[in-house]
Structure 1
Amino acid sequence: MRALYLIIWILFGSRSLNAQVTTVSEFLQGIWSLEFRSETSDFYQIYSNNVVYKVFLDSEENAQMYPLYSFCIPKVPIYHLDSAFNRLYIDSIKADEVVLDKKFITNDEGFEEICILHYDSSSIVNENVILLDRSELGDEYFISYYDLDNFYIWDGGAANGIVYYNRIVNPPKDLYEIYKEIAANRFKRVVRETNLYPEPKDKRRAMEILKVDEEIEVISSYGDWLRVRRYYEQNHQGWIRKEDVE
């Protein structure tokens, strides 16, 4: 898998990096599911505005949702390795030692390995300190600038501890409606017929025509352009002009 991302980086990285730089929170924004789900654990996770929600679907695809935890990104190491290479975690971290978001800083293969802290209101002391519960920490997220629809989480141990997540762009209707309520400020409608492009300013390679009143989700912006996501469509991500939505 990493070899594939390296090839993509070599072929396309230099000409698209500046236009498509995104942040970690923008990457995670959306509906995700485990790559391998059992019939008894049909649930999804929604990432939105630094909160993770868990959504369960019953046999008739009716959805039930509740907030799972908030997340942030530490600016300082939260563990060190002992002589046997075991991770020894700190007990707490100050509020000014975390951020809610950051831009991608990728390695040569287009990956970023990033630690994301999970916490809830009971973890915050005096509005200044976050207590770290190892069972709720969350592990390293491996995200790729060039694969915006997949990521995996790994605690650095055995390979069977890797958990893969896939972005869901054809969700059950009840799940989609819940997501729209959570991320209502991100949804816009197309006000004039326009083209969807793979990159901003690249008008030679239109992917598809967007019709008036089509509903889209805004992911990020770049100058006069918006990166948008479409649901239930084959070309589910691309760029359009800001003036074409409201």
Structure 2
Amino acid sequence: MTNALTLLVFSACLGACAPGIPEIPPPASSVTRREALAASRAYTSMIWRGSLRNVRHGTDGDGIRTDTPDASAAGYDAGAWWKPGMRSIGMPYKWGGFDTPRQFSERLKADAANGGLPAAAGDMGTPEKQAAGDAAVSRFAAGVDCSGFVSRCWRLDRPFSTRELPALCTRLPSWEDLRTGDILIVPGRHVLLFIQWEGTEKSRFLGSEAGPLPAWKCSEHVFSRSMLENSGYRPMRYRGMRD
């Protein structure tokens, strides 16, 4: 095989073998536990590559402060992580975000809300944004926040806030009743998705979230039950959840 032909075959393989953007099912009145987990992992395992054009630190076109969780972020940057030009895993957190993986990928290249310019890759939930609430949501940034993430995993037709989600749920009598696709929530503060227990003692579990720790991104990690219980988290189950 000639060098030119080898290069052509290699280039074709790169295009064909490159991981596709995961997609999630459309909104529906109910969701299975398997669907909820698959949607969660579409977010946590998403592979993407941002550029300098996706970095924002300053006010957007509407005068709203935007800070992407890139490694150059100054100040409130404990969870800043992605680097321009580098391979990143997990959709970044965006205050008020509700993008699907495909929407996020497309907006990074050309965002209709931004006149066709690339969107900001995420927007950290700073104390200032938490104080301002919905008024601090930037339409020029792409990503998903904690309640938007759960809303997508449950196939809801809009982003329900952490204050709204409990109205769709039944509170579980015990933490031991938690199953894949259920949530742990502090209304008005944070929500995360339960995946499975780690060990028979049920003191730790694997979960997923769009959260600030350990980074401003969608990720899976092991949580301490006692730590969350002491922080006021409540176990709940979506009434539209099916086995």
Same fold (TM over 0.5): no
Q: Which structure has the highest strand share of the two? A: 1
The structure with the largest helix share of the pair is 2
Higher relative contact order (CA 8 A, sep 6+): 2
TM-score under structure 2 normalisation?
Answer: 0.27
- TM-score w.r.t. the length of structure 1 is 0.27
